[in-house]
Structure 1
């Protein structure tokens, strides 16, 4: 959903209505833009400010939402929604910051505001959050007292209204209250009822289990018994051979094996209790895997290396007279998600397949992390070396290096068991399913997968002429200082006006530098440096294949390509003072098992200049887990 700026200002209610609708549909960044526009015309409107803070919190920018809500309370707007949302931002900040005293300050403020909201409203949501934050502060008696009161309130509501709209959260809250009261058996009973009622509400189940684990960990108990109450299905990522093309001299996956392979995939699905599957959609293993997901009522996610029509021609419609193409179309239509890694096939080698696999593997890992579920790897393989990066053999090698759980359906063993196949006599040109050549180029001009960073300064357009030299010295100077301190500097750096463009060897280097730069600029005292107003950076990250070349115009190194253009569209939709990333960046960071930072999902966001809608992530430092 894309919202264009209004040519003439609307009334505050219209902006609020649009913002609320966008928030309901899971588009907090677009809601932020709409509400921020509304506040330019109606700067004192209370509801606009509440909704703007909510949009910021949902994008992971609680640091920006917090002062907006505090100002509302200072003005006397002490309703449960405002106080509860302020408490949430402090709890978010408690989980984000590193410094112990600062963490404790935010947790105490979260407790104070949750309790205030509860005392004003008697709402069980604010009450149970107050009880849990009291426990995290070490106030066990206070936590137990609040939990007992919330328990009584929820029991009264449960006996009065068991409608589906309210029942799940009542049951989950009763389970959490029982945990806080250390009534483990009662907690199991309530949680089991909640799970039975909310078996298709995976997101709610994950949230409930996360809160339960936090409490159990604080009591230093084993969460295994409690985990048994929750059934979170596994996530499976797949790689497998294409069906043999006509004329293949040495059979590998002949059509005669299709029923046996389908049965084996289905058996593994049921044994592994797969609820979410990630695969490409080539004829053969991929399509059989995706069809099996539907048979076990699991959710299918498809990652294509490039656009669906050329991919169909290259990897689906390769057996004359077969129905793979129609099956491919049906699967793309019914999938929960179809992602295209690149708009076109890239280069002359296997880059498209390598990048597509990294996105596929990383996206599956991101989903498993989101659900706190086990990630399993399933392959249809003949046990032999493959044709290059992105193929089945290289996928399995990568999984094994990462010490993953890998389940292999051995098509070579099936062939040895006597499945009849038809071989073709004579010489047949070799087919490389992962790395077909697509024509020659005038010279070697092969892409490489890199981390891409774009940033610009919020407030630059308001600078006066005498502030431009200050901007060069202090903001661009800070960028230069961070580059000089980098142990792994970028491959390429460029600026124009207030814009910064950097290319890094990998996503780890790009993400770490972005966070360091963001913190350096965020901590700047601009007024002390003679600026009339504050500046901030918006930083966007992407990862993908790009071409390194010497620019004939400038004579300097440059990196160009479609993914560079995509990267440039992320920064304009980033809130000031934050680091945002594309879904591709988040996936490649997960595939590389980056530990230094995490990417939190924000939503599906229209990129700048109408550049389609893509999943967007906020990037944060990873904080070591503690028992507090």
Structure 2
């Protein structure tokens, strides 16, 4: 359990006080708006604004945004202890446990033995225990966590490190000590909650946790019910409390299902659905006359599922109806546009004469917590831009679920018939099912059938199928060019520019030779490859294979003794990964299959910012890896990283093998 402390404004800074006041009462969407608008810069004379904003965002369950906030503050005040603590906590809650542990261990070694630092450090050992491969390793990490929490409690007598010390000691078998600590914490918290003016979420949660340790379930239910009310919509805090409760109940071999009723984290909905019919659509599918009926069905699903988070695109029709309904319930909403807003509005929003879809589109975007543009431009061939958008939506939803340990529910408005091609609703449902997600379906065809008949001239007619491919002797551009979503790898040899002429042949023989041998193991998934000088370029049809190859490549480069092969010992690789839609074609110069497009350029810009020996990836790659449930590697958030040659910043991730950390 982690307690959040909201700092008071510092005297003498009127602007700081104003900004702090706006932050302290803001919802998550408002906090994101404050960050996007850079309102915190009004108080840039003080780190208090960055601390407060980071704490509030963490409490709402957005560790990636919190990491960006506190990292920006550390860029101005690199030695600020509270910002460094929050950076460690943000990393821990985002799943980057080893990096969090390193940040907090550095603070401890600098003689910071505060309750906050030691408590957060104890959490990282608890997290490492959760991912340990063996019981021995798990127990070692739990013991380290118990020692760290106990040291903090002995020094400060703070209840939140005390209750964590009690829980960790229980898990390592020191039941008598754990229950003695739980009683002390219980007595202290009962005194603290006598003041009704303060925020007592953490005291109430500690009372619930102490009751579980003491095996008093009725008292645990009572205190967790009060905590849930006090912590409403503080999903990051609720998740932290729920995790400890589960650990205790598992230790006692008791069912922990009941705790979900009190510390419930609502599900995440990822959405897809048909647009309102275009005026020239041959066969009606979603006529505008049925908009209100579809909206009612969406609301029924939302009322039943009770989601807290929703991700969708924003085309007219199903998307906007879903976003409006979610926002009206107070849910957190994120929007992914397949390409730039101007073209998307023209193609998918503002094509119905005398409608208000454009204004409704602008309103939902203004109220959304986050708006992401998947590609700068639409692919001119096929539906790969929309296919990529749907995969990105699913992946971002999966990442959100992982952060809060909640359920992902795909929801679709669909007529349950074959669609118009890749990237359409039928295609999205097919892809969801291939990965293992079974969606909740609102059957559009049934809604239309039981509703009023369409006006004259709008009745359904048989769909006019296009002429089968190959019936025309002239090749179309789609036959000469294809488009698909791929994973892209760029790598550069660090130290190549220092090679002497005699070393170049040895570089080709040993360095490139080792890479060539490695590619044979992944031959089934590599669909294109190239080299130039010391540069490497690979294209894969699956993100999981791209990630595994990148890590194998990095391991080969860092572990090989290049000096024994007559090369410089410091020789290494920088490796970058990205995923996105690209054009596929027969290269008229090389005669080989090749891939090109703006996403290839985006991948190339990540490589120069990658540290030697590491693998960095874009958010798109991390999202698609999450969507496809990759199990052999994980993507840890690095932050908003400036790209090479002034191409702005990009959310980047560190790709590493999903291996057990060691003491």
TM-score w.r.t. the length of structure 2 is 0.76
How far, CA to CA, are the matches of 2:522 and 2:380 in structure 1? Answer: 31
How far has the Cα of 1:101 moved from its partner? 4.6
Pair 1:201-2:237 in alignment: no
Partner of 1:144: 179
Instruction: Say if 1:145 and 1:567 are closer, same or farther in 2 by CA, change over 3 A.
Output: farther
How far, CA to CA, are the matches of 2:142 and 2:445 in structure 1? Answer: 58
Further displaced range: 463-472 or 415-424: 463-472
Instruction: Say if 1:55 and 1:35 are closer, same or farther in 2 by CA, change over 3 A.
Output: farther
Describe the SS at the equivalent of 1:274: coil
Further displaced range: 320-329 or 358-367: 358-367
Q: Say which of 371, 377, 394 aligns to 1:361.
A: 394
How far has the Cα of 1:229 moved from its partner? 0.9
CA contact (8 A) 1:248 1:424 kept: no
Q: Say which of 215, 220, 227 aligns to 1:187.
A: 220
Q: Say which of 263, 274, 282 aligns to 1:241.
A: 274
Instruction: Say if 1:205 and 1:574 are closer, same or farther in 2 by CA, change over 3 A.
Output: farther
How far, CA to CA, are the matches of 2:588 and 2:411 in structure 1? Answer: 47
List per-residue Cα deviations over 1:35-74 (Å, max 9, x = no partner): 69999xxxxx796996798499557655456567656656
How far has the Cα of 1:345 moved from its partner? 0.9
List per-residue Cα deviations over 1:116-142 (Å, max 9, x = no partner): 222222223333333333233333333
How far has the Cα of 1:401 moved from its partner? 4.7
Describe the SS at the equivalent of 2:194: helix
How far, CA to CA, are the matches of 1:20 and 1:468 in structure 2? Answer: 52
Instruction: Say if 1:592 and 1:120 are closer, same or farther in 2 by CA, change over 3 A.
Output: same
How far has the Cα of 1:387 moved from its partner? 0.6
Partner of 1:436: none
Q: Say which of 414, 417, 429 aligns to 2:450.
A: 417
Map 1:227-626 to 2 at 5 A. Answer: 227-402=260-435, 404-424=437-457, 441=477, 444-455=480-491, 460=495, 479=515, 482-486=518-522, 488=524, 490-494=526-530, 500-518=536-554, 539-548=575-584, 558-573=594-609, 579-601=615-637, 603=639, 605-622=641-658
Partner of 1:435: none
Instruction: Say if 1:520 and 1:183 are closer, same or farther in 2 by CA, change over 3 A.
Output: farther
Further displaced range: 190-199 or 530-539: 530-539
Instruction: Say if 1:260 and 1:275 are closer, same or farther in 2 by CA, change over 3 A.
Output: same
Instruction: Say if 1:136 and 1:522 are closer, same or farther in 2 by CA, change over 3 A.
Output: farther
Aligned length: 600
Instruction: Say if 1:56 and 1:417 are closer, same or farther in 2 by CA, change over 3 A.
Output: closer
How far, CA to CA, are the matches of 2:53 and 2:581 in structure 1? Answer: 33
Instruction: Say if 1:518 and 1:51 are closer, same or farther in 2 by CA, change over 3 A.
Output: farther
| RMSD (Å), alpha carbons | 4.4
How far, CA to CA, are the matches of 1:472 and 1:87 in structure 2? Answer: 48
How far, CA to CA, are the matches of 1:20 and 1:499 in structure 2? Answer: 42
Q: Say which of 128, 141, 144 aligns to 1:109.
A: 144
Partner of 1:134: 169
How far has the Cα of 1:107 moved from its partner? 3.5
CA contact (8 A) 1:247 1:424 kept: no
CA contact (8 A) 2:308 2:331 kept: yes
Further displaced range: 418-427 or 15-24: 15-24
How far, CA to CA, are the matches of 1:340 and 1:365 in structure 2? Answer: 18
CA contact (8 A) 2:268 2:401 kept: yes
How far, CA to CA, are the matches of 1:481 and 1:17 in structure 2? Answer: 54
Instruction: Say if 1:81 and 1:247 are closer, same or farther in 2 by CA, change over 3 A.
Output: closer
Instruction: Say if 1:70 and 1:551 are closer, same or farther in 2 by CA, change over 3 A.
Output: same
CA contact (8 A) 1:256 1:420 kept: no
How far, CA to CA, are the matches of 2:130 and 2:88 in structure 1? Answer: 18
Partner of 1:6: none
How far, CA to CA, are the matches of 1:198 and 1:179 in structure 2? Answer: 19
How far, CA to CA, are the matches of 1:568 and 1:487 in structure 2? Answer: 22
Instruction: Say if 1:621 and 1:533 are closer, same or farther in 2 by CA, change over 3 A.
Output: closer
Further displaced range: 224-233 or 70-79: 70-79
Instruction: Say if 1:413 and 1:89 are closer, same or farther in 2 by CA, change over 3 A.
Output: closer
How far has the Cα of 1:157 moved from its partner? 2.9
CA contact (8 A) 2:503 2:566 kept: no
How far, CA to CA, are the matches of 1:531 and 1:33 in structure 2? Answer: 40
Describe the SS at the equivalent of 2:193: helix
Q: Say which of 200, 206, 211 aligns to 2:244.
A: 211
Structure 1 residue runs of 5 or longer lacking an equivalent are 3-12, 40-44, 433-438
How far, CA to CA, are the matches of 1:530 and 1:328 in structure 2? Answer: 62
Instruction: Say if 1:342 and 1:115 are closer, same or farther in 2 by CA, change over 3 A.
Output: same
